[in-house]
């Protein structure tokens, strides 16, 4: 049987500590070359909306130690609205009933059969948070107590959860240009995390005096700058476009999530992608030699040196996600679902065939 799970199932079964622990173990396999992950592919074409593009995104990876492979697929209507002088990348819930389309397919490496199918929304949030949380665990000062968060959306919540999971954070200050949103976020996360989460009026107020600064926005313009950096600080970002080149130049140690500089971008004739414009999106840190920067997996596997002194400024850029993350978190989810009877079984024959493909 093939297990069908919902986002509600994922939220109930997977925790941030689960994902951090699972990825920490798995990233050693990836560092050794036994685990494999394909670079994300984004294919763009026009759609009926003048202000949008259609994007078909996919990534995949195999975790041999867990006996699984996974493919993540997104079918998106993308827009790039202006907000407070910045350009944001925003997915439109254009599917029937105002819904998004993102799926993960989990396969057995022993039989090839599909083990599970589930939406990517919750699990992708957890795996991004977990990766940045691992960077905090290995790079932030052990005595870090104050965190600053730029962004108060879906991804920002996972960043807060991850920081609290690996450090004894006492105060978290959050900023977004939307006052109502940042205040609601602070109230929600104070209750969820059991620490003081303070909404602040400027990004400077969020980062001033912070031991850890985490960026979690959907802008394609930089949101954090070198003049805000202080000795002993750890800085992280969920995309490379959030940090300017000056931040990377000033940091004492910089780690990447993957050596790939950009997704494999394939554009239909005549399509102009805002994130490929000069000084924006994938071009923000274009002059950085990514090939010379160590990876988070190397750090976890002991092949790269992390923080050496209390005063060093460390930086982690979650420049691209990995299909491998979905294999690992998918295996954790599948095991918990089978153990608790969660989800709905469908005949595997519906997803397999007798004809040679």
Output the CA angle 291-292-293, nearest 5 degrees.
Answer: 95
Predicted local distance difference test score (pLDDT) of residue 280: 59
What are the strands, taking DSSP E only, across the chain?
A: 2-4, 36-37, 41-46, 52-63, 68-79, 82-83, 86-87, 90-92, 102-108, 114-119, 146-150, 171-175, 196-199, 212-215, 234-237, 253-256, 264-267, 314-317, 344-346
Predicted local distance difference test score (pLDDT) of residue 260: 87
Number of separate helices (H) and strands (E) present in the chain: 9, 19
Identical fold for domains 2-123+322-351 and 131-317, yes or no, is: no
CATH class of the structural domain 131-317 = alpha beta
Predicted local distance difference test score (pLDDT) of residue 282: 60
Nearest to 344, CA basis, from 11, 108, 5, 9: 5
First to last CA, the chain: 21
Predicted local distance difference test score (pLDDT) of residue 88: 85
Which residues pair with residue 87 across a beta bridge? Answer: 82
Task: Taking each helix axis as running N to C, give the angle between helix 121-139 and helix 323-340, from 0 to 180 degrees, rounded to the nearest 10.
Answer: 110
CA torsion, points 246, 256, 190, 175, in degrees to nearest 10? 20
The tokens for 117 are 């199918």
Segment holding 137, helix H or strand E: helix 121-139
Nearest to 116, CA basis, from 355, 323, 321, 342: 342
Nearest to 142, CA basis, from 309, 295, 2, 265: 309
**DSSP per-residue string spanning 168-184:** ---EEEEE-S-HHHHHH
Predicted local distance difference test score (pLDDT) of residue 286: 59
Give the β-pairing of 314-317 and 253-256: parallel
Predicted local distance difference test score (pLDDT) of residue 291: 81
Q: What is the reported pTM?
A: 0.94
Predicted local distance difference test score (pLDDT) of residue 285: 59
Predicted local distance difference test score (pLDDT) of residue 283: 60
CB neighbour list of residue 66: distance below 8 Å, 6 or more residues apart? 26, 327, 328, 331
Residue 185 phi, psi dihedral angles, 5° rounding: -60, -45
Predicted local distance difference test score (pLDDT) of residue 86: 78
What is the third-level CATH fold of 2-123+322-351?
ornithine cyclodeaminase, domain 1 (3.30.1780)
- Residues of the chain with pLDDT below 50 are none
Distance, in Å, from the CA atom of 286 to the CA atom of 301, rounded to the nearest integer, reads 28
Q: Where are the domains of the chain?
A: 2-123+322-351, 131-317
Segment holding 133, helix H or strand E: helix 121-139
């Amino acid at each position: 049987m093939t297990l069908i799970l919902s986002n509600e199932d994922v939220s109930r079964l997977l925790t941030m500590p689960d994902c951090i622990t699972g990825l920490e173990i798995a990233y050693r396999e990836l560092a050794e070359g036994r685990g494999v992950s394909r670079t994300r592919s984004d294919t763009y074409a026009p759609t009926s909306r003048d202000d949008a593009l259609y994007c078909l995104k996919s990534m995949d990876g195999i975790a041999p130690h867990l006996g699984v492979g996974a493919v993540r697929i997104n079918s998106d209507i993308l827009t790039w609205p202006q907000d407070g002088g910045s350009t944001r990348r925003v997915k439109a819930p254009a599917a029937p009933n105002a819904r998004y389309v993102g799926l993960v397919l989990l396969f057995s490496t022993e039989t090839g059969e599909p083990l599970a199918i589930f939406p990517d929304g919750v699990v992708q949030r957890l795996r991004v948070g977990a990766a940045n949380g691992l960077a905090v665990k290995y790079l932030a000062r052990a005595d870090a107590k104050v965190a600053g968060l730029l962004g108060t959306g879906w991804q920002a919540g996972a960043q807060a959860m991850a920081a609290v999971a690996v450090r004894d954070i006492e105060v978290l200050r959050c900023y977004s240009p939307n006052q109502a949103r940042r205040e609601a976020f602070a109230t929600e996360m104070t209750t969820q995390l059991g620490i003081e989460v303070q909404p602040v009026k400027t990004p400077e107020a969020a980062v001033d005096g912070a031991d850890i600064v985490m960026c979690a926005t959907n802008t394609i313009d930089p949101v954090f700058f070198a003049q805000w950096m202080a000795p002993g600080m750890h800085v992280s970002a969920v995309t490379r476009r959030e940090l300017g080149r000056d931040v990377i130049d000033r940091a004492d140690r910089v780690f990447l999530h993957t050596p790939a500089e950009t997704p494999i971008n394939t554009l239909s004739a005549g399509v102009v992608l805002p994130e490929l414009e000069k000084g924006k999106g994938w071009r923000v840190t274009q002059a950085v030699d990514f090939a010379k920067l160590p990876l988070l997996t190397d750090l976890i596997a002991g092949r790269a040196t992390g923080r050496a002194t209390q005063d060093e400024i460390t930086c982690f850029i979650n420049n691209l996600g990995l299909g491998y993350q979905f294999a690992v978190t998918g295996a954790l989810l599948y095991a918990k679902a089978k153990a608790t009877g969660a989800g709905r079984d469908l005949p595997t024959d519906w997803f397999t065939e007798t004809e040679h493909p």
